[in-house]
Amino acid sequence: MPVIISVILIPVTALVILFLLLYYPADKTALDAMRSDDTVTVSETGYGYFFDGPTDHSCLIFYPGAKVEEAAYAPLLHSLAAAGIDAFVVRMPFEIAFFNANGADDVLSTHNYSEWYMGGHSLGGVVASDYAAAHSDTFAGIILLASYPNNPLPESLTEIQLIGSEDLVIRADMVNNTETNSPKNCIRHIIEGGNHAQFGSYGSQFGDGIATISAEEQIRETVDTIISLIGDRTPEMQ
């Protein structure tokens, strides 16, 4: 019997280890966006990366999608910081947000902003929504990219959902089935032609739909939508 158990456990353990080690790495576009420029300073912290733009009023804490390297979101967060909302992307052990669900604690304890937003992509958004719900007095809202709240969010939070029309990883029916968890002021924006993976910059994702717009267009519309909905709340941008 012990021999049989060992025969079963060895390949199962190997598969688990393989799953934990494999992930979607950031592509060249993302790595280029990790460089500082005249508008945004990009720095590595003990808990991820900080995109520090020209304003200091609003900030987004961002949880990456499952098995996606955090640097893959550099084009999105760099653009967002340049437009007026600073951003932190939190590093996740094995690239899974569940393993560092309270990672935002480190950001909040070391930085001061007048207005905080929580957010994330895919599974990262689900975990981020739970954190925001548990700390609703801290956040003005939550920004979910190809994601949804798994548990009810308080009405005090402004929820923004952005979903690609060609996303086959997080389908519309999955989002619709969780509508009751969203506050009444939830704003949902569909990016026509966008898919799941193009919120980040890590190539194609297994099971995803084929985008009919470029990754640059999807990120641009994402940033423009976020800024149009919450950017006018930032005094420096008025």
Encode pLDDT of 67-114 as tens digits: 999 999 999 999 999 999 999 999 999 999 999 999 999 999 999 999
Number of structural domains (the chain) is 1
Question: What is the model's pLDDT at position 20?
Answer: 52
Tokens representing 35 are: 């460089």
Within a domain: 210: yes
Contacts of 164 (CB under 8 A, 6+ apart): 146, 190, 191, 193, 194, 195, 196, 198, 199, 209, 211, 218
- Residue 146 is assigned to a structural domain of this protein: yes
Looking at per-residue pLDDT, the higher value among 61 and 19 belongs to: 61
Q: Model-level pTM greater than 0.85?
A: yes
Is residue 7 a part of any domain in this protein? no
User: Rounded to an integer, what is the distance from CA 158 to the centroid of its chain?
Assistant: 16
Work out the average pLDDT over 124-128: 98
Does the residue 173 lie in any domain? yes
* pLDDT computed for residue 19 by the predictor: 44
* Structural domain boundaries, residue 83: 24-237
166-170, 194-198, 213-217, 234-238: segment of lowest average pLDDT: 234-238
